[in-house]
């Protein structure tokens, strides 16, 4: 029956039946990912910021002033969702909207000074959260893990 499955499915099932080490490696990876995600949500709570809103702030810091449609494209979300994220951030004074001088029908979004300050504070807090997770590793283990994760990401 394995001939009916695609090669990736066969490889996945063969790997799990031949070696439970791959499965436990996967379980360990996802467990750490969950731990980091939970720490991330807890770390964002003082600012009442969601991960999607944080991504929007980061995109605006990196790219500067963007049209709402461009922001949505960078976030890989629908235009309506981009508007909702922007509304939430604007209500807290973290971003501001401006008319696009090149096209009065378009709206630009930019990070405010307050948004920039909050983003710095979040970055510092998140760095501390990550340190709590990774501080159990030696510098050598951290370097190996970073190398391995970069390899898997590509």
What are the pLDDT digits (tens) for 86-122? 999 999 999 999 999 999 888 999 999 999 999 999 9
Q: Which regions of 24-135 does DSSP assign to beta strands (E)? A: 66-67, 95-100, 103-111
- What is the length of the chain? 154
Does CATH number 1.10.10.10 belong to domain 2-153?
yes
Name the burial class of residue 11, with classes exposed (0-12), middle (13-18) and buried (19+) by CB atoms within 10 angstroms of its CB. exposed
What is the pLDDT confidence band of residue 22, given thresholds at 50, 70 and 90?
low
pLDDT for 3 equals 44
Contacts 24+ apart (CB under 8 A), 130-137: 130/36, 130/39, 132/39, 133/32, 133/35, 133/36, 133/39
Rounded to two decimals, what is the model's pTM?
0.69
Q: Where do the structural domains in the chain lie, given as residue ranges? A: 2-153
């Amino acid at each position: 029956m394995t001939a009916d499955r695609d090669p990736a499915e066969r490889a996945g099932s063969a790997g799990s039946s031949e070696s439970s080490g791959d499965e436990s490696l996967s379980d360990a990876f996802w467990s750490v990912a969950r731990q980091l995600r939970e720490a991330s949500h807890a770390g964002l709570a003082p600012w009442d910021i969601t991960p999607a809103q944080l991504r929007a702030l980061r995109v605006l810091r990196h790219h500067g002033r963007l049209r709402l449609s461009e922001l949505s494209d960078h976030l890989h979300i629908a235009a309506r969702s981009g508007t909702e994220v922007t509304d939430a951030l604007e209500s807290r004074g973290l971003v501001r909207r401006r008319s696009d001088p090149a096209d009065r029908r378009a709206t630009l979004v930019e990070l405010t000074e307050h948004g920039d300050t909050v983003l710095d504070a979040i970055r510092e807090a998140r760095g501390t959260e990550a340190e709590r997770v990774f501080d159990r590793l030696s510098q050598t283990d951290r370097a190996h893990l970073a190398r391995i994760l970069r390899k898997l990401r590509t």
